[in-house]
Structure 1
Amino acid sequence: MPPRRATRAQIARDAREAQDEHVQPAVPQPVAPQIDQDAMRQMIQESVQQIAQETARQAAQEAARVAAQEVARQMAAAQQVPQGPQIHVQQGPQIHMQQVPPVQVQHDHQAPAQQAPAPQYPQVPIQPVPGVFQVPPPPPVIPVHVPEVDETFIRVLSQMKYVNLEHFSGTTDPTLAHDWRHSLDKCLNTISCPSRHKLRIAELYLRGDAAVWWDGVRVMHHGEMTYEDFLYAFNKKYFPREALDEKKNDFESLRQSGKSVREYEHEFRQLHRFAGIGMDEEDLIRRFLKGMRVELHGRCSMVTYTSLEDLV
């Protein structure tokens, strides 16, 4: 009996060993790497942006193609060509449309006997396409008025810089007013100023009270004024008739008295500008001798003079 029990124990041990041989050893499971959440989020955002850009590009191309087909359809309608099926456009990222069949045009190679005039078709306005950005029309061209430049006036104005004409601000001395008017005429004649520009040049040389006076004359005068109108108004204001009569009286009553011959001759010529108009050289000599002192008058009367310069 004891040997049999030992055999059973041996059998049980052998059975356990055999079972252990068939059992595989435990294999350690691999550890999953840790995922970077920020990198994963950035990759997802970049993918979404790329998908959105691609979708927008495809939508823009599709919209441009739809607009081109709409223009072609309207042109075909203007030429009385059978119209294709209407384009249905739905708003959204995806645009569904039906293609317009191509227009069949027949070419006649036979030369006509007489060329017919080209038919006139009415212009069909292009209707806006929903979902497609419409480019606004260009603004209307506003004509710009460019003033004409008078080259002659520019030349006259530039030449006036070299004649040194003084500005006139008004005066109560008739002689100064007469001298300025005489200088103005002389300068305008020197530069060969056309008559149509003389008034504008004269206005540019008025200052102060004279400019205010002339503005008032222009307001009171109705219509266009000329340079002759300016001279008439100028003489009436600054060299009236009373001043001219006074200069004539001074010329007739001029005497040498205690002045030298040169001083007497200078004053004589100043007054001669106003009162001696129309006198010849003989009359001037006679009038000059009349105003000289008695002793000089008797001495000079014995000599015959041909000009006033010889007498002086």
Structure 2
Amino acid sequence: MGTTDPFLAKGWIRSLELQFKLLDMKDGDRVKCTAYMLRDDASLWWEIAAHGLNLATLTWDQFKEAFYGKYFPADVRGRLTREFMSLRQGDSSMAEFMRKFDRGCHFVLIIARHAAQNLRHFMDGLRLTLRRDVMLMRPASYDEATPCAFQAEHALRDIDFEMQQKQHQAQSSSQP
């Protein structure tokens, strides 16, 4: 529909590609189907963009290049890549950190496609206390590290809760 949200644009293309794969669609049919599905501002954009293209030979990859040029431009992809490369958990929960990490993997495929780099980048982004605990579990992959990180986060919450209980008991017993 012409949204300016790059994640929606990329997600829409990704969902179309899953359908195209299921339907075993040819390149040219993918372009025609997608052009038919465009609405509102996106439909207006395509009317103009299509004039500069040879629709008879336009491939799906060429269509995506034009589409991403409009709705997911290189400067946005670059910014998201930089954000991913400097991603740190900080005060975020593991669930929030993993959501950002998984989303970022779509923009930095060189890390996402190499298991060792993916694991290292994930570990580097973890809060130090969690990283230490996860490293002790020696995960061999990102998929092995994530449940370890959730366990470590849960254990730290339990420790914090226990410490607060002890402080509360100590304060209660010291009052006259």
TM band (smaller chain): 0.7 to 0.9
Q: Percent identity?
A: 27
Task: Name the structure with the higher helix share.
Answer: 2
Residue deviations 1:7-51 (CA, integer Å, cap 9, x gap): xxxxxxxxxxxxxxxxxxxxxxxxxxxxxxxxxxxxxxxxxxxxx
Q: Decide which of 109, 115, 119 is 1:285's aligned counterpart.
A: 119
TM-score, scaled to structure 2? 0.75
Q: What's the CA shift for 1:202?
A: 0.8
Query: Counterpart in 2 of 1:4?
Result: none
Query: Counterpart in 2 of 1:210?
Result: 42
Q: What's the CA shift for 1:240?
A: 1.5
Structure 1 regions of 5+ residues with no counterpart?
A: 1-168
1:300/1:229 CA distance change after superposition, 3 Å: closer
Structure 2 regions of 5+ residues with no counterpart?
A: 147-176
Residue deviations 1:122-176 (CA, integer Å, cap 9, x gap): xxxxxxxxxxxxxxxxxxxxxxxxxxxxxxxxxxxxxxxxxxxxxxx01111111
Bigger radius of gyration, 1 or 2?
1
**Higher relative contact order (Cα pairs below 8 Å, separated by 6+ residues):** 2
RMSD: 1.7
1:1-312 correspondence runs (5 A): 169-221=1-53, 224-226=56-58, 227-278=60-111, 279-312=113-146
The number of aligned residues is 144
Q: What's the CA shift for 1:280?
A: 1.4
Q: What's the CA shift for 1:196?
A: 3.0
Contact 2:115 2:142 survives alignment (8 Å)? yes
Residue deviations 1:207-228 (CA, integer Å, cap 9, x gap): 0000000001122336635133
Instruction: Tell me the secondary structure at the aligned position of residue 106 of structure 2.
Output: helix
Q: Distance in 1 between matches of 2:62 and 2:115?
A: 33
1:223/1:186 CA distance change after superposition, 3 Å: closer
Q: What's the CA shift for 1:307?
A: 2.1
Residue deviations 1:75-129 (CA, integer Å, cap 9, x gap): xxxxxxxxxxxxxxxxxxxxxxxxxxxxxxxxxxxxxxxxxxxxxxxxxxxxxxx
Instruction: Tell me the secondary structure at the aligned position of residue 257 of structure 1.
Output: coil
Residue deviations 1:225-250 (CA, integer Å, cap 9, x gap): 51333212101111111111111111
Q: Distance in 1 between matches of 2:105 and 2:89?
A: 15
TM-score, scaled to structure 1? 0.44
Letter matched to residue 304 of structure 1: R
Letter matched to residue 240 of structure 1: P
Letter matched to residue 30 of structure 2: K
Q: What's the CA shift for 1:203?
A: 1.1
Q: Distance in 2 between matches of 1:223 and 1:300?
A: 52
State the 4+ residue runs in structure 1 displaced beyond 4 angstroms. none
1:228/1:286 CA distance change after superposition, 3 Å: closer
Instruction: Tell me the secondary structure at the aligned position of residue 274 of structure 1.
Output: coil
